[in-house]
Amino acid sequence: MNPIRTILFAAVAVIGISGSARAEDHYFLMMFAAQAEPNVAQQSHSFALFAKVSGDQPQPKIETVPISWMPASLQIEPLKRDPVEGKNLTLAETLQWATQNNAKVSMWGPFPIKKGLFDMAVAQAEKLQKGRLGYVMIDGNQRGKTAYNCIHALSDMDRTQPALNSGTARGDEATKMVLSFFDPYVLPMRGSNRWLVDRLGISPDAVRFVNPDLVSPD
């Protein structure tokens, strides 16, 4: 073979191998609900964790974005009509709040999702971080203008659909409504995503896994 052709062939082969070996980014959604017994407003909460996974297992890079909108005081006052300072909690902070309020936490997912929903979560987290929005449980006309409740802080990240009407739902019921609202972005499952739960350190001691594939070890 011509030496020049040999060098070119080798270069093309290397490019092809590196291109095929380059891992794509993957995106996931975990939806959570906290509620006590009885399911009272002061002890209920809907929140989510979005994840971007880059690289191959077993050591991919994982970026997470929580949307867990609560009063900065961590005291939910259902009858209060004026917004209070809000805070977007981390997953660890939210689970700690649930423990302190005797609320049991359930998790749906991880579900593979389209990149668009992850990008919406990033934008919403940045919006909440700016501190211009407060928290109020009954947000009514204040929704998205001056304040949010935890449910709408999640659902309203998607402006391509009519706003979610959550009514008086809270806890598990409200979280399932938001999950259904995000259904256009959820991709088909391909095997168990238990590995992601383990990597994120989400323990079955703190969270009830709803997905059957998470209940039993792989």
Q: For tokens 């998790």, name the residue.
A: 107
Q: What is the DSSP string of 161-199?
A: SPPP--TT--THHHHHHHHHHTGGGBPPP-S--HHHHHH
Angle at 201 between CA 199 and CA 206, to 5 degrees: 150
In a domain, 9, yes or no: no
Domain limits at 148? 23-199
pLDDT reported for residue 156:
98
CA distance 146 to 157: 15
Radius of gyration of the chain (CA): 21
Q: Is the peptide bond before 38 cis (omega within 30 degrees of 0)?
A: yes
CB atoms within 10 A of CB 193: 21
In a domain, 217, yes or no: no
pLDDT reported for residue 3:
40
In a domain, 6, yes or no: no
Question: Do strands 69-71 and 84-88 pair parallel, antiparallel, or not at all (unpaired)?
Answer: antiparallel
In a domain, 91, yes or no: yes
In a domain, 181, yes or no: yes
Nearest partner of 31 among 218, 179, 207, 198, judged by Cα: 179
In a domain, 211, yes or no: no
Residues whose CB falls within 8 Å of the CB of residue 85, separated by 6 or more in sequence, listed in order? 71, 72, 73, 131, 134, 135
| Tens-level pLDDT at each residue, the chain (218 residues) | 444 333 333 333 333 333 334 468 999 999 999 999 999 999 999 999 999 999 887 789 999 999 999 999 999 999 999 999 999 999 999 999 999 999 999 999 999 999 999 999 999 999 999 999 999 999 999 999 999 999 999 999 999 999 999 999 999 999 999 999 999 999 999 889 999 999 999 999 999 999 988 865 44
Question: Do strands 104-113 and 208-209 pair parallel, antiparallel, or not at all (unpaired)?
Answer: parallel
CA distance 187 to 109: 12
The structure's pTM equals: 0.87
- Cα atoms found within 13 Å of the Cα of residue 5, Cβ hemisphere only: 2
Which residues share a beta bridge with 35?
104
pLDDT reported for residue 202:
97
In a domain, 60, yes or no: yes
- The CA-atom distances, in angstroms, between 46 and each of 70, 164, 190 are 10, 14, 26
pLDDT reported for residue 216:
54
CB atoms within 10 A of CB 201: 9
Six-digit token pair at 205? 């001691």
Number of structural domains in the chain: 1
Q: For tokens 């660890």, name the residue.
A: 92
In a domain, 175, yes or no: yes
The single-letter DSSP state of residue 67 is E
pLDDT reported for residue 23:
66
